[in-house]
Amino acid sequence: MLDDSITKATLEVFESMIFMEVQPGKTTAEAYQGTDLQVSGTIGFVGDFNGVLSIHCPSLVAMDITGNMLMSPVETVNSDVTDAIGEIANMVAGGLKATLKAEGINVVLATPTIFTGISLQTNIQKGVEHFLIPFQVPSGMFGIELTYQ
Amino acid sequence: MENFQQISDKLIEATVEIFTAMVMMEISVNGEPLDNIGTLKNSISGLVGLAGAYKGFVAVHLPENVAFAITSSFLGLDVDEINEDVQDAVGEIANMLGGNVKTELSDAGRDIALSLPSTIYGESYDFRPSDEAERIIIPFKVPGGEFFVELELEIE
């Protein structure tokens, strides 16, 4: 249920805001494998259901997404890129929030934060559920990860 | 909002208390608060989100060697790589700091909740909040080196 609603929210965001073709892959329990330079946006949500949603993009993918979103090419990982990735995390989490609400599960969102760096790793903590959904776009793959209790 | 400066002061107190009582490590504030910390090298960050009447997060940014020293002292384990124990220790410190900020804010009768702690680490990374909001970064010094505690808050 959770991965379906995250996939749905992601497809909606890409269709309506980014105008980019995106193909979801198979949900996995693996951690995201960091790339040379990547941009990660992460947002916590709290309430009847607690978790953290993250989007991890190789820098090329992050720049492509931002370029499409702003309708002007982006050549470096600048603040437009970090803003865009934070905003996508926020919108996908918003979509998940809406799905949960329809099920009678209420959550509130924290603020998105963005990490830009080389070979970043996020943790999978003990006693916490986790999955990763890979997505294919023309310039490569990105991943959306959910950890929750 | 209760004065942001007051909350920052409480965060300093809370950090000192957590390190003294839980981590069992000497700690002191290492200079004036910062607006930015630039690129973190070979570091690990622990993060906990705040949601509800206030939105924001509390983060702790630790160079690896400081994270190892803290984990050893906190959990009584010798570590020399970023493993689950280090991630758990760093996540737990972020969680305790977040809990303290939450208590401070709730004293004013506000409804606020903490998200699950998460950690992120890498050779070289930049960290930044996405929104314009009140932000403060406090440098601390422990025997193993320097680290930072960061708070960002916006009002919904």
- Residue B76: exposure state from Cβ atoms within 10 A (0-12, 13-18, ≥19): exposed
A120 φ, ψ (degrees, to nearest 5): -70, 145
pLDDT (tens digit per residue) in B98-143: 999 988 887 664 688 899 999 999 889 998 876 668 889 999 999 9
Q: Please list every residue in chain B whose beta carbon sits closer than 8 Å to the beta carbon of residue A120.
A: 120-122, 125
Q: Which structural domain range is residue A30 located in?
A: 2-148
Rounded Cα gap, residues A60 and A39, in angstroms = 9
Q: What is the mean pLDDT of chain B?
A: 89
Rounded Cα gap, residues A110 and B54, in angstroms = 8
Q: What is the mean pLDDT of chain A?
A: 92
- pLDDT bracket for residue A30 (50, 70, 90): confident
Rounded Cα gap, residues A7 and A2, in angstroms = 9
A40–B120: do the CB atoms touch at under 8 Å?
yes
Q: What value of ipTM does the predicted structure carry?
A: 0.82
Q: How many domains does chain B have?
A: 1
pLDDT (tens digit per residue) in A114-129: 999 987 887 766 778 8
How far the first Cα of chain A sits from its last, in Å, is 15
Task: Output the pLDDT for position B53.
Answer: 84
B47 interfaces chain A, CB cutoff of 8 Å? yes
Higher pLDDT, B135 or B63: B63
Q: How many domains does chain A have?
A: 1
CATH of the domain at B66: 3.40.1550.10
Task: Decide if B94 contacts B60 (C-beta within 8 A).
Answer: yes
B113–A116: do the CB atoms touch at under 8 Å?
no
Nearest chain A residue to B117, by CA = A52
Nearest chain B residue to A88, by CA = B130
CATH of the domain at A20: 3.40.1550.10
Residue numbers of B between 99 and 138 with CB closer than 8 Å to A: 113-131, 133
Q: Please list every residue in chain B whose beta carbon sits closer than 8 Å to the beta carbon of residue A80.
A: none
Q: Which structural domain range is residue B95 located in?
A: 4-155
Contacts of A103 (CB under 8 A, 6+ apart): none
How many angstroms away from the CA of A134 is the closest CA of chain B?
19
The token pair at A26 is 């198979």
Rounded Cα gap, residues A77 and A74, in angstroms = 8
A117 φ, ψ (degrees, to nearest 5): -175, -175
How many angstroms away from the CA of A76 is the closest CA of chain B?
14
